[in-house]
Structure 1
Amino acid sequence: MTDETAVQPLLEPREGIPPVIAEAADLAAAVSAFAGGSGPVAVDAERASGYRYSGRAYLVQLRRSGSGSALIDPIACPDLSQLDAALSGAEVVLHAATQDLPCLAEIGFRPRRLFDTELAGRLLGYERVGLGTMVEVVLGFGLVKGHSAADWSTRPLPEDWLRYAALDVEVLIELRDALHAELTETGKLDWAMEEFAAILTAPTAPPRTDPWRRTSGIHRVRALRGLAVVRELWTIRDALARETDLAPGRVLPDSAIVQAALDLPRTTKGLTEIAPFTGRSARRHLREWLAAITRGRTMPESELPQPLGPGDGPPPANRWADRDPAAAKRLAAARAVVAALADEHRMPTENLLQPDAVRRLTWEPPADLDEDAISDRLRALGAREWQIGLAAHPMSRALQRLETKGEI
């Protein structure tokens, strides 16, 4: 780790803060400049999470050797397909790629090759993998991270925000190069390349079933009518948030939905006795909130939401010992194997092998517990080949030992 006294503050981009590109002609010039550059392209995107309903990008930052840095306003320039085409053969460097890839895809930018500096840090065993920490530990630069949670939909963007945004890609290529060398030295480069490719080819997650059930604090609501009220309030809040492009929590916090489901107020006065409903945004829609609560209170029993049944996966692991003691022993043995391998290779257990794959494998194991059968099952569960190569043999041996002892 870099000595703290040797850390050099990174306060200004090397070529200064680039002007924000908001015109087609300027975007075309940037496309030409980046097409003429060389090597990997550092990319970052700023969203307005917590402020806006959408997860769209409100600023895109890029840097490449020979091209310098660029800041693009994707609201004014919503189509980056020409930039995407110009960089189709380049490796794109992102930090925590899964966070930015969806919003980049919305504006036509889809990397074909990827280097994720956060994931590289995890595979290399770094305890803290935030960008600022990684830049400091690996490169010795102090990167101030003060505006990550800002409302990037603000226009015009303040100069200090733009400075922060430009600095996010200022040394990202240097960080990539240092991590690439370390991955090579530790024999983990092929593992990382397989992980990066998997990110790019991962299917889009399907829409959540009953997303209202994820309301924070819903576990407090036991009655079916209360659940109906949660559903009705969540649905109207989601529609209002989408219409106004505000984060749902800014329209009405989850705590208000849950409390209304517990209290079941019948009048506007009763509704406003629940503190969050007195906020400026919530008060604008008191009539809609009360109508939603009334629908939940009075709907026919046949329309009430039912408690969740068992999902398509195994039950929570803390119930295994009671429901299936043999499965609980398999899970403990498999987890011990993964923990030992993760310790040996200096990485988090969840990166060595996905916890869901371990649970599903041990809840419904193949009939034969030999290495080939375990490998096939892990592959079907989405494990990477490098993970299978490390885990299948010792996991097979561990499970076979339990079987030999008659414990499963």
Structure 2
Amino acid sequence: MTERHVIESRDEYLDAVKIIAAGSGPIAVDAERASGYRYSQRAYLIQLYRRGAGLFLFDPPAVGRFDELNEAIVPAEWVLHAASQDLPCLREVGLDPQRIFDTELAARLLGMPRVGLGTVVEELLGIHLAKEHSAADWSTRPLPDTWLEYAALDVELLVDVRDKLAALLDDGGKREIASQEFQATLARQSKVQRKDPWRRLSGLNTVRGARNLAVARELWMERDALAREIDTAPGRLVPDSSLVAAVKAEPRTRSALAALREFKGRASRSELPRWWAAIERGRTTDELPPVRASSTDALPPPRSWSERNPEADARLKAARQAITEISEELAIPVENLLTPEILRRVAWNPPESVTAESVSDALASLSARPWQIEATAQSIASAFVESHQTLSEAQKADS
């Protein structure tokens, strides 16, 4: 196994920038985080490979900002696998591409049944890529040699994979489709923080009553604050299941909370006063949360459409069938052909006059890409019209 060197100083980093700038062609980039171990989603290792320059492993906490590297390579195409996962942490340190090639997305658009990097590498290059360290704690220092080898292989082969996928996209007439999808990935903003993030608590649906929800909210917020403070994944402090168990058990004293078998986790006892204070705040607060989360923009679940809006239900079912047929014809997964959320929204609130043109406008307003609109608008419009006719005939027959 080749010994891999990690760049940890500014001087060595600046030397590397010069070498990388002198290389040629696309640049493979990857980042390793410590998801599940740390609160933050920062990069703890950044890997980069370019032909004519070689492989570079950077320690972001030690190096700091990467503005000089970004300036040197931003005109080039950056090759990433599942770019949407890495772009936020890369941008956090000053690495912000203008043009990308996403190998995972390309594999999806080509209809490959499995799109994990290891599988794609093996299918296209015939090389087995072990992925046993993908869920490791990359904030560990020093990083083990086996981990560094794994990280290096992630980018050393990526440009070769890119070339194979690009040729397949060209052969399949999908290069423009891929280009639009790559650009959309770049343009996509980070997820907006939810109004009530505590409602993401797993198992919250089993909690009854506004008062108990208030206790759950206070426990979640207290855990989140501690996790942020010490940069530890919240679930490693106290699991969601333990918070929910504490809410449902309704302990009357701190001792009763400590005795609760289901209340576990590495901070469940060491931070007991903190959790008990949160429970007491929840029990005494006048700011009770609504039992149901309010969202003026949310659509009802499709399973309820047949009763709440039969016409929308008929439109959605007909359009889904049409989209499935197009998906099979193009060998593109349904979710990449048109996201289910966009289809639901246009089915729930269709244009007043349904035509291919009006449906195209509706899809564009919901951020569908031009290729998606071209591929689906006519079929969706036809499905809407046919579903309306079928429903009307059924209603006449019933009357």
Q: Same fold (TM over 0.5)?
A: yes
1:263 is aligned to 249
Deviation per residue, 1:49-98 (Å, 9 max, x gap): 00000000000000000010000000101211110000011100000000
> Does 1:116 pair with 2:102?
yes
SS of the residue aligned with 1:39?
Answer: strand
Q: Which piece of structure 1 moves more, 85-94 or 264-273? A: 264-273
Map 1:48-197 onto structure 2 (within 5 A): 48-197=34-183
Q: Which amino acid aligns with 1:48?
A: A
Work out whether residues 371 and 396 of structure 1, in 8 Å CA contact, stay in contact via their aligned partners in 2.
yes
1:9 is aligned to none
> Does 1:307 pair with 2:292?
yes
Deviation per residue, 1:153-200 (Å, 9 max, x gap): 001101111111101111100000000000000000100000000111
Find 1:317's aligned residue among 302, 310, 313: 302
Find 1:47's aligned residue among 30, 33, 39: 33
Aligned structure 1 segments of 4 or more residues deviating by more than 6 angstroms: none
1:4 is aligned to none
Q: In percent, how many aligned pairs have the same letter?
A: 50
Find 2:272's aligned residue among 286, 292, 302: 286
Q: Aligned Cα RMSD in Å?
A: 1.3
In the aligned structure 2, how far is the partner of 1:357 from the partner of 1:313? 12
Alignment CA distance shift 1:383-1:279 (3 Å):
closer
CA apart distance, 1:396 = 1.0
Structure 2 alignment gaps of length 5 or more: 394-399
1:218 is aligned to 204
In the aligned structure 2, how far is the partner of 1:238 from the partner of 1:347? 39
Find 1:390's aligned residue among 361, 375, 379: 375
Find 1:371's aligned residue among 356, 362, 374: 356
TM-score (norm 1): 0.94
Q: Which amino acid aligns with 1:104?
A: L
SS of the residue aligned with 2:63?
Answer: coil
1:3 is aligned to none
In the aligned structure 1, how far is the partner of 2:34 from the partner of 2:261? 26
Paired positions, count:
393
CA apart distance, 1:207 = 1.3
Work out whether residues 138 and 178 of structure 1, in 8 Å CA contact, stay in contact via their aligned partners in 2.
yes
TM-score (norm 2): 0.96
In the aligned structure 2, how far is the partner of 1:129 from the partner of 1:239? 36
CA apart distance, 1:310 = 4.8
Work out whether residues 61 and 70 of structure 1, in 8 Å CA contact, stay in contact via their aligned partners in 2.
yes
In the aligned structure 2, how far is the partner of 1:103 from the partner of 1:310? 29
In the aligned structure 2, how far is the partner of 1:70 from the partner of 1:223? 55
Work out whether residues 238 and 266 of structure 2, in 8 Å CA contact, stay in contact via their aligned partners in 1.
no
In the aligned structure 2, how far is the partner of 1:330 from the partner of 1:200? 32
Work out whether residues 44 and 61 of structure 1, in 8 Å CA contact, stay in contact via their aligned partners in 2.
yes
In the aligned structure 2, how far is the partner of 1:126 from the partner of 1:226? 47
CA apart distance, 1:18 = 3.5
Find 2:263's aligned residue among 260, 263, 277: 277
In the aligned structure 2, how far is the partner of 1:99 from the partner of 1:346? 24
Work out whether residues 238 and 248 of structure 1, in 8 Å CA contact, stay in contact via their aligned partners in 2.
yes
